[in-house]
């Protein structure tokens, strides 16, 4: 098989969450363990950092990877889902895994695929681990796919575990309360391995404290260690002033990720760097500052308040759940603009009605869908939006919606594309 045939095989042969949803979610680690055993257990042959959370885990993973790269470590990065190219999921020092490796790897384990019928995600995790060993990485940042306890990535024993936050998402699989969701995320806490939690809530704190105690894992709450004292935008950078818990040290960090929600992620990353430093990793403040200033350049991160056009400003953001959409709308309100245009498409298994109720009624809407089976049809989304008193037009494809928005928008307007990772990934203007 050539590369394209390999990708077609993986996409069509294996259950894929992004396409079919919960039916692709495996509730144990058996297949991942079998795949890794077949490969000689690559997950035991490199150091790793494990990152879970409802929102922010992708940004935190990329930010940490950028810092580690600047520090001189050969850094693997595993994230999901991809926006444009399958190979975005597996990177070493910002370079995507090459096509030949994907083809050779798939051929190598094809007989096992046929035998145990793993999910698409289980295969990609095993592929990433095998690639990191082949590349002899110093460390790999591993982002959880969904949940934590039963996620395929949870066969690693990392140097550090990170949970960014807990919010409402994937309740059909993770549970119908914040406590239950926190329990699943807390499943990545390993015996004796320090755990950094970004944001703590009264309902989730006991869950993390209990799990950390059971595992003998030191627990650090990022939001208690440092505070954001000020922030502002400087030429599409976010300048954030941070003080430590004693208010004795003030530093300004310049992020090339301009979303204001990155202020929370920044505190998580800073505490993670502090813990790694205490473990002997060569990460000082200057290195941290350099890494955070060039996350997109070093890691290829896209879709986080990503400005792809000026006059009118067009922003891509992968926000797709309640907390993510609230943060997005808050940022839109802070931006100077005449009229707000929102291009939105969602998948069927999200809290669609709840998310629509959060959106501003005075915006102009363009209802559309991603080209995947799991996507809610543009017509159904329009009906639900009408009930929520949102007005707009309907489009079968996101680029047609964007073209129409650009046609109708004034140069001082703001256009946001959001609601689904897959929708953002289909924008033609998004390039690597």
The pLDDT value recorded for residue 15 is 62
**End residue of a domain, out of 210, 226, 242:** 226
The pLDDT value recorded for residue 323 is 85
Find the CATH number of the domain harbouring 353.
3.90.190.20
The pLDDT value recorded for residue 278 is 97
Are residues 155 and 46 both part of a single domain?
A: yes
Of residues 79 and 236, the one with the higher pLDDT is: 79
CA separation for the pair 179, 202 (Å, rounded): 10
pTM of the model: 0.92
Are residues 42 and 170 both part of a single domain?
A: yes
39-64: pLDDT as tens digits: 999 999 999 999 998 888 999 999 99
The pLDDT value recorded for residue 140 is 98
The percentage of residues in the chain with a pLDDT greater than 90, rounded to a whole number, is: 75
Mean model confidence pLDDT for the chain: 91
The pLDDT value recorded for residue 203 is 85
The pLDDT value recorded for residue 16 is 58
Chain-centre distance of CA 280, in angstroms? 27
**End residue of a domain, out of 226, 252, 281:** 226
Residue 383: which residues within 8 A CB-CB, separation 6 or more? none
Are residues 33 and 166 both part of a single domain?
A: yes
Judge whether residue 312 has pLDDT over 50: yes
Are residues 38 and 180 both part of a single domain?
A: yes
Judge whether residue 170 has pLDDT over 70: no
The pLDDT value recorded for residue 430 is 54
Are residues 91 and 221 both part of a single domain?
A: yes
| DSSP-assigned states of every residue in 302-336 | --SSEEEETTTEEEE----SHHHHHHHHHHHHHS-
Find the CATH number of the domain harbouring 144.
3.40.1190.10
The answer as to whether 409 is a domain residue is yes
- When pLDDT is cut at 50, 70 and 90, the band that residue 412 belongs to is very high
User: Strand (E) positions, 99-236?
Assistant: 139-143, 160-163, 195-197, 219-221, 226-234
What is the β-pairing status of strands 250-255 and 237-244? antiparallel
326-383: pLDDT as tens digits: 999 999 999 999 999 999 999 987 789 999 999 999 999 999 999 988 899 999 999 9
Chain-centre distance of CA 224, in angstroms? 23
DSSP 3-state of 255:
strand
Of residues 21 and 143, the one with the higher pLDDT is: 143
Domain span at residue 48 reads 3-226
Residue whose C-alpha is closest to residue 29's, from 115, 142, 126? 126
Highest mean pLDDT pick, 157-161, 241-245, 302-306: 157-161
- When pLDDT is cut at 50, 70 and 90, the band that residue 131 belongs to is very high
The pLDDT value recorded for residue 22 is 47
207-216: pLDDT as tens digits: 999 999 999 9
6-28: pLDDT as tens digits: 999 988 877 654 544 444 445 67
Judge whether residue 175 has pLDDT over 70: no
Looking at the structure of the chain, the number of domains it has is 2
- Tally of CB atoms within 10 A around 387: 11
The pLDDT value recorded for residue 74 is 98
The answer as to whether 202 is a domain residue is yes
The pLDDT value recorded for residue 54 is 82
Q: In what order do the strands lie in the sheet with 226-234?
A: 226-234, 237-244, 250-255
CB distance 147 to 172 below 8 Å: no
- Tally of CB atoms within 10 A around 363: 19
- The CA–CA distances, whole Å, from 104 to 138, 140, 248, 348, 355 equal 23, 22, 54, 35, 42
């Amino acid at each position: 098989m050539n590369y394209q045939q390999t990708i077609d095989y993986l996409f069509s042969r294996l259950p894929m969450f992004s396409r079919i949803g919960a039916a692709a979610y495996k509730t144990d680690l058996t297949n991942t363990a079998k795949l890794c055993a077949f490969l000689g257990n690559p997950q035991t042959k490199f150091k790793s950092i494990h990152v879970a959370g409802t929102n922010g885990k992708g940004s935190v993973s990329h930010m940490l990877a950028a810092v580690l790269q600047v520090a001189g470590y050969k850094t693997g990065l595993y994230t999901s889902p991809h926006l444009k190219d399958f190979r975005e999921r597996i990177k070493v020092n910002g370079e995507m895994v090459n096509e030949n490796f994907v083809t050779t790897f798939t051929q190598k384990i094809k007989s096992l695929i046929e035998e145990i019928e793993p999910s698409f995600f289980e295969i990609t995790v095993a592929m990433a681990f095998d690639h990191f060993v082949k590349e002899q990485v110093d460390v790999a940042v591993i982002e959880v796919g969904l949940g934590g306890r039963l996620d395929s990535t949870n066969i690693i024993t990392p140097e550090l575990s990170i949970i960014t936050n807990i919010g409402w998402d994937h309740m059909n699989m993770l549970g119908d309360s914040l406590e239950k969701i926190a329990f699943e995320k807390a499943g990545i806490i390993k015996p004796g391995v320090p755990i950094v939690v970004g944001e703590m809530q009264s309902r989730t704190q006991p869950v993390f404290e209990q799990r950390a105690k059971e595992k003998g894992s030191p627990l650090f709450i990022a939001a208690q260690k440092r505070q954001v004292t000020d922030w502002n935008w400087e030429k599409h950078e976010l300048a954030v002033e941070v003080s430590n818990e004693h208010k004795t040290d003030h530093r300004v960090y310049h992020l090339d990720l301009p979303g204001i929600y990155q202020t929370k992620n920044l505190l998580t990353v800073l505490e993670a760097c502090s813990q790694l430093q205490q473990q002997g990793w060569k990460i000082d403040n200057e290195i941290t500052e350099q890494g955070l200033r060039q996350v997109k350049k070093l890691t290829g991160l896209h879709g986080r308040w990503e400005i792809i056009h000026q006059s009118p400003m067009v922003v891509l953001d992968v926000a797709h759940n309640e907390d993510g959409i609230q943060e997005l709308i808050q940022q839109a309100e802070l931006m100077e603009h005449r009229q707000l245009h929102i291009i939105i498409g969602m998948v069927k298994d999200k809290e669609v009605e709840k998310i629509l109720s959060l959106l501003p009624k005075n915006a102009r809407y363009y209802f559309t869908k991603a080209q995947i089976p799991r996507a809610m049809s543009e017509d159904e989304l329009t009906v639900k939006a009408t009930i929520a008193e949102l007005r707009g037009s309907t489009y079968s494809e996101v680029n047609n919606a964007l073209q129409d928005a650009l046609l109708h928008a004034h140069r001082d307007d703001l256009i946001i594309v959001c609601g689904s990772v897959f929708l953002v990934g289909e924008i033609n203007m998004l390039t690597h």
